[in-house]
């Protein structure tokens, strides 16, 4: 059982960042969500091909598909299997974005259990890879149908369900409801992976120890914090967790930056690294000022030099 997973997050968990998290101890990763329709219509489109990259470091990579037409999703899954790159297919039934959910994709499928069921069954029949589903608790407070959806998933041959403990209507507001996740776990015999608001390794370990889920999936808690997976591994092994030093943080930013420059055009790497850097330095002294300066820089070397000076100042002040 791969207990510690990195949640799929479009715009965040590209193959570079996933590789970093795996090096830190993450046991299973997911691609950012990929449109089944987009892939079937234009399989060679650059943006899609980029989403489909597997980092050689990844131990178990699941490709996540979204769509609303069962036949197209099943066909996309079949073609994904043919690439030989993935260890499983995940169906997105949780994306709350208006454009996605209101057209019946992502969390919108929770309003149409009949279509969701066909999608799960047809995908399971189309591939020999394990098929999993990621869902929310329901559309809103009046439609909390995740337990029924989970039972349907099990019937359709789905191997595992990840549940984000919020409704679509909540988006990211309020707190994730882990009691509801546990209730779903009690309803089905397939594994249930809990997701939502895990920001410390201690909390993740506690959720597992208290039987809330069979595994945990970490999203925002891993932004700028790949070390959370090292900490989970340490705590799970009964050891103390290692504190992240300033040197380590600086090295991580540099390693991440260099890998991005190697994989993407400079201007893309510079732009995408701005948000990662802001997460890596979040909470450190003077983070807001240095972030504002870096956001105006366009040359990678300029950014890395500014970062180095910033960390030097932090080390001297420590
Ligand atoms: C920026 C961002 C992008 C996301 N993209 C996806 C996605 O592509 N597929 C998906 O299933 N969930 C996506 N999610 C939802 C996360 O996987 C996760 O369910 C959610 O953030 C709750 O977990 P957390 O509290 O650990 O962040 C995204 C979340 C964020 C913040």
pLDDT at 122: 98
Tokens found for residue 248: 């380590």
- Cβ of 94 less than 6 Å from ligand 1: yes
Selected catalytic residue, list 26, 40, 41, 95: 95
Residue 167 near residue 136 (C-beta atoms within 8 A): yes
Residue 150 near residue 117 (C-beta atoms within 8 A): no
Residue 273 near residue 260 (C-beta atoms within 8 A): yes
Residue 110 near residue 161 (C-beta atoms within 8 A): no
| Closest residue by CA, ligand 1 atom 21 | 219
Q: Which residue of 47, 105, 219, 276 sits with most ligand 1 atoms within 8 Å of its CB, as the best mutation to test the pocket? A: 219
Question: How many angstroms separate the alpha carbon of residue 8 from the centre of ligand 1?
Answer: 6
One domain, residues 58 and 172? yes
Is 95 a residue of the active site? yes
Instruction: Compute the distance between CA of residue 55 and CA of residue 22 in angstroms, rounded to an integer.
Output: 10
- Cβ of 195 less than 6 Å from ligand 1: yes
Long-range contacts, 49-52 (Cβ 8 Å, 24+)? 50/14, 51/14, 52/80, 52/83, 52/85
- Cβ of 147 less than 6 Å from ligand 1: no
pLDDT at 308: 98
Question: How many angstroms separate the alpha carbon of residue 77 from the centre of ligand 1?
Answer: 21
Tokens found for residue 240: 């103390």
State which H helix or E strand residue 271 sits in: helix 266-280
- Cβ of 220 less than 6 Å from ligand 1: yes
Which residues are within 8 A (CB) of 248 and not within 5 positions of it... i.e. 6 or more apart? 227
One domain, residues 88 and 217? yes
- Cβ of 22 less than 6 Å from ligand 1: no
One domain, residues 206 and 302? no
Q: What is the pTM of this model?
A: 0.97
pLDDT at 11: 97
pLDDT at 79: 98
One domain, residues 128 and 218? yes
Question: How many angstroms separate the alpha carbon of residue 74 from the centre of ligand 1?
Answer: 23
Residue after which a domain boundary falls, among 236, 258, 284: 236
User: In terms of residue numbers, what domain contains 151?
Assistant: 4-236
- Cβ of 196 less than 6 Å from ligand 1: yes
pLDDT at 1: 76
CATH (domain of 231): 3.20.20.70
Residue 111, classed as helix, strand or coil, is: helix
Which residues are within 8 A (CB) of 231 and not within 5 positions of it... i.e. 6 or more apart? 200, 201, 241, 242
**Mean pLDDT of residues grouped by 10 in the chain (318 residues)?**
95 98 98 98 96 98 98 98 98 97 97 98 98 98 97 98 97 97 98 98 98 98 98 98 97 98 97 98 97 97 98 96
Residue after which a domain boundary falls, among 218, 236, 254: 236
Q: How far is CA 318 from CA 17, 43, 252, 285, 311, in A?
A: 29, 51, 19, 10, 10
Block residue for tokens 């989403």:
51
pLDDT at 252: 98
| Closest residue by CA, ligand 1 atom 3 | 9
State which H helix or E strand residue 93 sits in: strand 88-93
Closest atom of ligand 1 to 32 CA is 8
Question: How many angstroms separate the alpha carbon of residue 108 from the centre of ligand 1?
Answer: 16
In a domain, 241, yes or no: no
Question: How many angstroms separate the alpha carbon of residue 129 from the centre of ligand 1?
Answer: 23
Give the phi and the psi of residue 159 in degrees, each rounded to 5: -85, -20
- Cβ of 67 less than 6 Å from ligand 1: no
CATH (domain of 257): 1.10.1200
One domain, residues 17 and 143? yes
The number of distinct structural domains making up the chain is: 2
- Cβ of 64 less than 6 Å from ligand 1: yes
Question: How many angstroms separate the alpha carbon of residue 249 from the centre of ligand 1?
Answer: 24
One domain, residues 145 and 278? no
- Cβ of 29 less than 6 Å from ligand 1: no
Tokens found for residue 31: 């691609």
Residue after which a domain boundary falls, among 208, 236, 264: 236
């Amino acid at each position: 059982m791969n207990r510690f997973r990195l949640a799929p997050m479009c715009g965040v968990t590209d193959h570079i960042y996933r590789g970093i998290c795996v090096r830190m101890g993450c046991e299973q990763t997911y691609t950012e969500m990929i449109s089944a329709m987009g892939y079937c219509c234009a399989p060679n489109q650059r943006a899609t091909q980029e989403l489909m990259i597997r980092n050689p470091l990844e131990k178990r990579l699941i490709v996540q598909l979204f769509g609303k037409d069962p036949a197209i999703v099943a066909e996309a899954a079949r073609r994904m299997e043919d690439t030989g790159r993935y260890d499983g297919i995940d169906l997105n039934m949780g994306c709350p974005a208006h454009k996605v959910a209101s057209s019946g994709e992502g969390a919108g499928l929770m309003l149409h259990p009949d279509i969701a069921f066909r999608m799960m069954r047809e995908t399971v029949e189309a591939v020999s890879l394990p098929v999993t589903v990621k869902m929310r608790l329901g559309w809103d407070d009046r439609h909390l149908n995740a337990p029924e959806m989970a039972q349907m998933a099990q019937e359709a041959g789905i191997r595992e369900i990840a549940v984000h403990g919020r409704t679509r209507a909540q988006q990211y507001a309020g707190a994730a409801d882990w009691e509801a996740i546990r209730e779903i776990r009690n309803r089905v015999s397939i594994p249930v992976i809990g997701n939502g608001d895990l920001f410390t390794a201690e909390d993740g370990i506690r959720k597992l120890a208290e039987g809330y889920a069979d595994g945990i999936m970490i999203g925002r808690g891993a932004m700028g914090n790949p070390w959370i997976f090292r900490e989970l591994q340490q705590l799970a092994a009964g050891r103390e967790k290692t504190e992240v030093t300033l040197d380590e943080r600086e090295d991580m930013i540099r390693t991440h930056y260099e890998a991005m420059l190697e994989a993407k055009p400079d201007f893309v790497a510079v732009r995408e690294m701005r948000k990662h850097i802001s997460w890596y330095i979040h909470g450190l002294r003077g983070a807001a000022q240095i972030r504002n300066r870096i956001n105006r820089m366009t040359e990678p070397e300029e950014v890395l030099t500014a970062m180095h000076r910033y960390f030097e100042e932090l080390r001297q002040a420590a």
